[in-house]
Amino acid sequence: MLSPSKTVGRKGGAVVLKRFIGWNRNAAAWLERRFPKVFGAPSYKAELERRIADDVTRLGPSAILEVGGIDRPLLQRGHGFSYIGLDIEERPHCYTIYDRFIVQSIEHPVNVEADMLISITLMEHVPDNEAAARSMFLVLRPGGVMHHYIPSKWHPYSIALRLVGPVLQKWLIPYIRPAAVGVTGYPAFFDHCSPSDMAKVFRREGFEKVDVMPFYRASDYFAFFLPAYLGVALFENLCSVLNWRVFSSGFVISASKPAA
């Protein structure tokens, strides 16, 4: 049992740490506002949502499967299609957000037929993405499409995430990224999670029209310590100029199942 003096000491240390991180994050936010072309991050979510919306209009799908959306879906039910959710865990709202909710891994065959499959920040948490791609191919009807956003495995943040591990990560999140408490901290494997590797996996499983758009800026993950934030931002801008996709922060990837 901790003595009162040690308890007070720990609380005081936590307060100092939070203030230090807060100062660093405020400084990073000021730099982003002042120099958006250097420190600002284009919205991968906006690109993903644009692709989804375009294909909803073009295809008029009767069923859309979102994988890994849990209770934070990309779309809303009641828009002319059956909206199906799938995740390895469930929460009470899952059964009201979707028309149907399935609890299982996408690595295993899914008893669903869909015209579109979507996900965001899912596939880095899947241990076997070849099995996942195979299952996705079987889920889609001929001519169906899928759209994903996937963090890339060789970005500095992704490397740090694997080095830190999920246990320490969950302890750190309330301090360095308090807004992400409850929505991150899951084990991350990054199996085939690079633009070229994931495109190859999808093509091997039979997908065509594989289209990849890399994104390079995720320095906000390092905003808790300004020198790291500046170093990563410089590295990201260099990779963007040189088109070093392997070091992208993440990528939007789309693919189609052949119509025949």
CB-neighbour burial class of residue 11 (10 A; exposed 0-12, middle 13-18, buried 19+): exposed
The 10 Å Cβ neighbour count of residue 259 is: 9
* Pairwise pLDDT comparison (29 vs 185), residue with the higher score: 29
Q: Topology of domain 8-256, per CATH?
A: Rossmann fold (3.40.50)
- Helix (H) / strand (E) containing 247: none
Q: How do the domains of the chain map onto residue ranges?
A: 8-256
∠201-205-210 over CA atoms, to 5°? Answer: 60
Whole-number Å distance between alpha carbons of 69 and 85 = 7
Over the stretch 6-20, which tens digit does the pLDDT of each residue have? 555 566 677 888 889
pLDDT digits (tens, 9 = 90+) for 142-189: 999 999 999 999 999 999 888 887 667 776 677 666 665 555 667 899
State pLDDT tens for residues 43-60: 999 999 999 999 999 999
pTM of the model: 0.89
- In single-letter form, the type of residue at position 200 comes to K
- The sheet with strand 82-87 has its strands ordered as 100-103, 82-87, 63-67, 114-120, 140-151, 250-256, 208-215
Q: What is the pLDDT of residue 233?
A: 95
pLDDT in tens, 62-90: 999 999 999 999 999 999 999 999 999 99
The two tokens of residue 62 are 């009767």
